[in-house]
Every structure is written in C-alpha cells, then in structure tokens.
C-alpha cells in the first residue's frame, strides 16, 4: 500500500478537495497534509473552516505550474505522494475559454508529474467520467472503454489521463487514475447544477434547464468520492484506472423537480433554454473494479444526501 504519511494535495480548497481534506485528516498515520491551491473562484479557504485548525494541515496559495514551489513543498514536508485534484472543471467555461483549460489541466499536470518524477513520489490523477463521452443505455463504461471526450473540458482531462499513463510507460512513474461521476454535496460552487437550481428556486426565478433536460448523470456524494480517492491512492494498482460512481442515474429534469419538491415550489419555474454545444446525453460508469479490487463502494443514499444538501443551501442561499 502507498503511504499516506505526508501528502501534497492540489486543489484542496475546492469542492471535492475540501471533502478529501476532511477525510485525510481522519487518517491515523497522517503527519502532514499540504494543500497547494491558487484560491481562484472555485477554491475557497472558507471550505476548510474547522480543518484549518489542525496542526498537520498547511495551506499554500500557489500555482500548480510552479515546479519550484511544488518541489520545495515536497522536500520540506517529505511528502510521500501527490493527490492531484486542481483543475478547471466547468464545461460552459471551457466552451467560452478553452485555452485556460489547456493551461491548467494539461500543462499544470505535466509540471506536477515532472516534480513527482524528480522526487520519486506516487501520483494520483483525479479525472472524470466525461472522458468516455456519451454512453448509450443500458451500457456502462468500464475502465477499458475508449476515450471520446466531447467538450474542451473533457478533452483536457482525457489528454491529462494519457500524459499520466505515458509518465509510467516512459519513465516508470508510480501513477494511478480515478475517474469520478457527477458529485454533489456541501460546499459546491454556485455555478454547478444543484446550487444553481436551488439559488433560482429560492428566489422564485426560472430554473434554467438545457434542452429537454433528459440528459442522464450518475450522482455520487462527495464524501463517498473522498473515501474512494483515498482507496485508489492507497490500494490502486500502478498505472491502473478506477471508476468511482454510485449507480444513481438521474436526468437533469428529475434533479430540477426534486429541488422544487423539497422547497415546495411549482414546476412551472422550470425553463428550458437552448442546449449546450456538444452536450452528452448520458454518462454511466461500471464500478466493478473499484468494488472488487479496492473494497470500496458508495454509501450515501441519494435522497438522504440530496435533502441534506438542499437544507444546507436553503440557509446559505436564502433570499435577500
């Protein structure tokens, strides 16, 4: 098993990153957790209120492309591995400004891989189910499925996955990849689907739904993802890929209706808008490998987790 003694975590102030921070700080053998985060719009120190009081946690504001900084942190804290979550992740923004996604997701990861190789530390790449492209029901993509990304975002992540695998093939680097389905949970940025819908519903504003709203996503609670990422890092085979999903498929229109039901708002608030370019109809992943090889599976029932998120957002996003 790979050591969790001292970890450099990129993107640790983000949505999934802050959940992973909390999970890592529960690990009994952890001595140092070093967060490297540029603290842009998606990274927020407020996500770490509570854990930031832990003396094992060090939060460093910086760019993942700064190889000298990353190298300094690994040396100073004697890091045993890099868990790489920092990324530009919003599909709409990748359509508007794809260059930013190439710079951060591809070039930034390449820089970190170079640092990992120089110091001989393990490297976890956090990827997405979107790299597989649209999956026709009832098929689910296992880790051997071809990559068919549709957006600049998913193309940047697919490219990064291949670069990570090439680092192993060419240089023998210790790498492992996790591909996660759609996450939901507390501290999610307001640009994402569920917070956006709740925000609009609380203000009795129209809930924007792309196209028919029949696009299907597999929804997993962020805490289950955090546990999965730890399992992948610790137990995953070298240069292996592991899907992390919850077998919880919902259409976007179903998500909108559930939000409205929980907030006692009328379905007439749903407003269909012009569909997004290259909008994939369905994502679905087969998690058999993760269950069998890692002993991991999602635990949070969707209705329970979803209702908790709605309650939390109802407080933080309450009307002015």
Summarize the confidence of residues 73-89 as an average pLDDT: 96
Q: Let me know if residue 298 belongs to a domain.
A: no
- pLDDT confidence of residue 46: 77
Does the pLDDT value for residue 312 go beyond 90? no
185 and 222 Cβ atoms separated by less than 8 Å: yes
How many whole angstroms separate alpha carbon 223 and alpha carbon 300?
Answer: 8
Residue 6: φ, ψ to 5°: -145, 120
**Per-residue DSSP letters for the chain?**
----SEEEEETTTSHHHHHHHHHHTT-TT--EEEEEE---TT--GGGGTTGGG-TTEEEEE--TT-HHHHHHHHHHHT-SEEEE------HHHHHH-HHHHIIIIIIIHHHHHHHHHHHT-EEEEEEEGGGG----TT--B-TTSPP---SHHHHHHHHHHHHHHHHHHHH---EEEEEE-EEE-TT--TTSHHHHHHHHHHTT--EEEETTS--EEEEEEHHHHHHHHHHHHHHPPTT-EEEE--S-EEEHHHHHHHHHHHTT--GGGEEEEPPPTT--SB--B--HHIIIII-----S-HHHHHHHHHHHHHHHT---
Residue 260: φ, ψ to 5°: -65, -40
Question: Domain of 164?
Answer: 6-185+219-247
Summarize the confidence of residues 194-211 as an average pLDDT: 96
- pLDDT confidence of residue 60: 96
- pTM beyond 0.75, yes or no: yes
Take residue 129 and report the two structure tokens written for it.
Answer: 């189910």
Q: Let me know if residue 87 belongs to a domain.
A: yes
Q: How many domains does the chain have?
A: 1
pLDDT band at 43, cuts 50/70/90? Answer: low
Does the pLDDT value for residue 42 go beyond 70? no
pLDDT in tens, 282-295: 999 999 999 999 99
Summarize the confidence of residues 157-163 as an average pLDDT: 98
Rg value, the chain, Cα: 19
- pLDDT confidence of residue 317: 64
Does the pLDDT value for residue 75 go beyond 80? yes
Q: Let me know if residue 78 belongs to a domain.
A: yes
User: What percent of the chain lies above the pLDDT cut of 90?
Assistant: 85
Region label for 306, one of left (φ > 0), alpha (ψ between -120 and 50) or beta (otherwise):
alpha
- pLDDT confidence of residue 50: 72
Q: Let me know if residue 111 belongs to a domain.
A: yes
Summarize the confidence of residues 136-164 as an average pLDDT: 97
277 and 95 Cβ atoms separated by less than 8 Å: yes
Q: Let me know if residue 213 belongs to a domain.
A: no
Take residue 33 and report the two structure tokens written for it.
Answer: 């957790």
Catalytic residue numbers?
129-130, 153
User: What percent of the chain lies above the pLDDT cut of 70?
Assistant: 97
Q: Let me know if residue 181 belongs to a domain.
A: yes
CATH number, position 160: 3.40.50.720
Strand partners, 169: none
Look at the alpha carbons of 272, 276, 278, 280 in this order and tell me if their dihedral is positive or negative.
negative
Nearest to 226 by CA among 299, 144, 293, 153: 299
- pLDDT confidence of residue 89: 84
pLDDT band at 47, cuts 50/70/90? Answer: confident
First-to-last C-alpha distance (Å) of the chain: 50
- pLDDT confidence of residue 39: 86
Better pLDDT: 308 or 51? 308
- pLDDT confidence of residue 313: 86
Q: Let me know if residue 297 belongs to a domain.
A: no
pLDDT in tens, 239-282: 999 999 999 999 999 999 999 999 999 999 999 999 999 899 99
Q: Please, what is the average pLDDT of the chain?
A: 94
pLDDT band at 320, cuts 50/70/90? Answer: low
Q: Let me know if residue 127 belongs to a domain.
A: yes
């Amino acid at each position: 098993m790979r050591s969790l003694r001292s970890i450099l975590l990129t993107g640790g102030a983000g949505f999934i990153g802050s959940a992973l921070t909390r999970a890592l700080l529960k690990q009994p053998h952890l001595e140092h957790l070093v967060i490297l985060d540029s603290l842009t719009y998606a990274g927020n120190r407020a996500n770490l209120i509570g854990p930031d009081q832990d003396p094992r946690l060090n939060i460093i504001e910086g760019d993942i492309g700064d190889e000298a900084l990353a190298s300094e942190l690994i040396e100073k804290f004697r890091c045993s591995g890099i868990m790489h979550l920092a990324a530009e992740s919003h599909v709409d923004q990748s359509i508007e400004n794809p260059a930013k996604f190439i710079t951060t997701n591809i070039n930034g990861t390449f820089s970190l891989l170079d640092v990992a190789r120089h110091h001989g530390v393990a490297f976890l790449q956090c990827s997405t189910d979107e790299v597989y492209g649209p999956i026709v029901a009832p098929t689910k993509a296992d880790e051997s499925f071809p990559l068919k990304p549709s957006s600049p975002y998913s193309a940047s992540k697919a490219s990064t996955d291949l670069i990570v695998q090439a680092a192993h093939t060419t240089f023998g680097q210790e790498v492992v990849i996790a591909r996660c389905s759609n996450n939901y949970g507390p501290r999610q940025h307001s640009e994402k689907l569920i917070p956006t819908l709740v925000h609009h519903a609380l203000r009795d504003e129209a809930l924007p739904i792309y196209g028919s709203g029949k696009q299907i996503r597999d929804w997993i609670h962020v805490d289950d993802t955090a546990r999965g990422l730890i399992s992948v890092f610790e137990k995953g085979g070298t240069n292996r890929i592991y899907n992390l999903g919850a077998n919880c498929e919902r259409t976007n229109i179903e998500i909108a209706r559930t939000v409205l039901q929980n907030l006692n708002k009328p379905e007439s608030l749903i407003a269909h808008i012009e569909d997004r370019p290259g909008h994939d109809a369905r994502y679905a992943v087969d998690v058999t490998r993760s269950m069998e090889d890692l002993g991991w599976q999602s635990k949070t029932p969707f209705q329970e987790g979803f209702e908790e998120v709605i309650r939390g957002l109802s407080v933080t996003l309450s009307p002015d």
